[in-house]
Amino acid sequence: MAGRNALFIPGPTNMPDRIRNAIDLSMEDMRAPDFPEFTKPLFEDLKKVFQTETGQVFLFPGSGTGGWEAAITNTLSPGDKVLISRFGQFSHLWVDMCERLKLNVDVIDVEWGTGVPVEEYAKRLEADKAHEIKAVFCCHNETATGVTSDISAVRKALDAADHPALLYVDGVSSIASIDFRMDEWGVDLAVSGSQKGFMLPTGLAIVGVSQKALEKRHTAQSTRCFFDFEDMIRLNAQGYFPYTPATTLLRGLRASVDMLLEEGLENVFARHHRMAEAVRRAAIDGWGIGVCAKGPEWYSDTVTAVTVPDGFDGNQVVKHAYYQYNLSLGVGLSKVAGKVFRVGHLGSLNELMILQALAGCEMTMRDLGIPIEAGSGVAAAEEYFRETATRAQALAAE
Ligand SMILES: *Cc1c(COP(=O)(O)O)cnc(C)c1O
């Protein structure tokens, strides 16, 4: 097929040429005497993306799921009580992992389309005078429903209850795309992966760990080997790894971190917000069919789950878009299977790429008989982009 696949799933995301070029290199000696000259500054700069000065960021070969496992097994013991909430496929999978790793899981189910129930967390933390709860888990950005939760509010709830539990955050589809402040929010374990906001191929689990959480490795009884922080700490201190690192991905990560810091995290977050808002304008104002997130306070700036009207199948939209227009969208998962299709809008994206995806969604929905007006979503997004366009003005003012 001529042209390119339009990749609008919420990860893996589009890979910028600069990153593609950075990973196109020969294999290198990961024990070379000058390898630390590359790795040590990378470890430091990566901390800036997590917005931490006091924590440490580990790079494991793996994916985000491996990062979850590293976070749990290095800091908790079987039987430890943990507080977690479930409102989508990704928060569900983390609950499932907690159970399989034999934690004592106190799970709060809330409506899909909402997120972390902070008031309920606050109540349970307040009531837990004996401090049986060892860990509080939050999915920062639920990728299945396009919902972002307020992590700073969870920190406030912990502090208000004067509760010592560690705070675990799944930031796989938020870190490097939307605001994430590890130090300021007192996050103890922050999990990400390479193929979303970092714009890299899949293959790295990226885990931020606070000093308080690092201490737990001395007492945590969960079985661990490959993901052991202890081995990582020892070798990373010298600029090396306990086993063969994914050197090409590390070179790519260098380019990714450079790109993020050159653009400036504030600008990266603002750009993501603008791309997301254009998609929401298209779905809500243009097509008039709405999104899965139950209100603006839950809107995600990295993925939008667009609800299809009753009687239509969201998965059919995804399939048709792929075969007819070479456009990849995200399917609805689990409880929302068939009810939504997802537009991923994170990573290396600009206005016209978003319009391309919206045009493909629009044609697809009309092909399938979903009653939306031709051009309505694209028009709503275009007008929003025009209203908020500042680049040309800024250049003219220089
Ligand atoms: C993608 C994703 C994961 C899973 O990450 P993998 O890299 O696929 O293992 C976990 N949580 C969230 C929120 C995600 O978006």
Ligand 1, residue 11: give the atom nearest the CA. Answer: 1
In tens, the pLDDT along 189-242 reads 999 999 999 999 999 999 999 999 999 999 999 999 999 999 999 999 999 999
pLDDT of 396 strictly over 80: no
Ligand 1 atom having least distance to the Cα of 303: 15
Q: Quick one: pLDDT band at residue 317, thresholds 50, 70, 90?
A: very high
Testing ligand 1's pocket by substitution, the residue of 140, 143, 180 carrying the most ligand atoms inside 8 A of its CB is 143
**Average pLDDT of the segment spanning 155-180:** 98
**Which of 9, 59, 90 has most ligand 1 atoms within 8 Å of its beta carbon, as the pocket-test mutant?**
90
Q: How far is the CA of 246 from the centre of ligand 1 (A)?
A: 19
- Give the predicted TM-score (pTM) of the model: 0.97
pLDDT tier, 398 (very low <50, low <70, confident <90, very high otherwise): confident
Q: What is the mean pLDDT of the chain?
A: 97
Ligand 1 center–CA 65 separation, angstroms: 6
* pLDDT at site 176: 98
Answer whether 157's CB lies under 8 Å from 185's CB. Answer: no
| pLDDT for 391 | 74
pLDDT for 69-89, tens place per residue? 999 999 999 999 999 999 999
The class (CATH top level) of 17-263 is alpha beta
d(CA 347, CA 350): 9
* Interval between CA 86 and ligand 1 midpoint (Å): 15
Ligand 1 center to 67 CA (angstroms)? 9
Question: If you take atom 5 of ligand 1, which residue's CA is the nearest one?
Answer: 64
In 120-172, where do the E strands start and end?
A: 133-139, 141-142, 147-148, 166-170
Decide if pLDDT at 388 tops 80: yes
The confidence score (pLDDT) of residue 28 equals 97
264-397 carries CATH number 3.40.640.10 = no
Q: How far is the CA of 394 from the centre of ligand 1 (A)?
A: 37
Using CB distances shorter than 6 Å, the residues near ligand 1 are: 11, 63-65, 90, 139, 141, 143, 170, 172-173, 193
Q: What is the pLDDT of residue 94?
A: 98
Q: Whose CA is nearest to atom 12 of ligand 1?
A: 172
Whole-number pLDDT of residue 390? 82
Q: Which long-range contacts (CB under 8 A, 24 or more apart) does 156-163 make?
A: 157/118, 157/121, 157/122, 157/125, 158/125, 158/186, 159/186, 160/122, 160/126, 161/122, 161/125, 161/126, 161/128, 163/125, 163/128, 163/131, 163/133
- Residue 395 confidence (pLDDT): 75
Question: What atom in ligand 1 is closest to the CA of residue 195?
Answer: 7
Mean pLDDT over 56-80 rounds to 98
DSSP β-bridge partners for residue 372: none
Confidence of residue 269 (pLDDT cuts 50, 70, 90): very high
**At 393, is the pLDDT very low, low, confident or very high (cuts 50, 70, 90)?**
confident
The answer to whether 354 and 345 are in contact (CB under 8 A) is yes
Nearest protein CA to atom 6 of ligand 1, as residue: 64
Q: Span 16-39, mean pLDDT? A: 98
How many angstroms is it from 64 CA to the middle of ligand 1? Answer: 5
Per the omega criterion (within 30 degrees of 0), is the bond before 12 cis?
yes
Share of the chain above pLDDT 90, in %: 97
Q: How far apart are CA 223 and CA 48, in angstroms?
A: 31
CA of 195 to the centre of ligand 1 (A): 9
Please identify, by atom number, the ligand 1 atom nearest to the C-alpha of residue 10: 15
Q: Where are the domains of the chain?
A: 17-263, 264-397
Instruction: Say how many Å lie between the CA of residue 99 and the centre of ligand 1.
Output: 18
Residue 291 · residue 284 · CB < 8 Å: yes
pLDDT of residue 347: 98
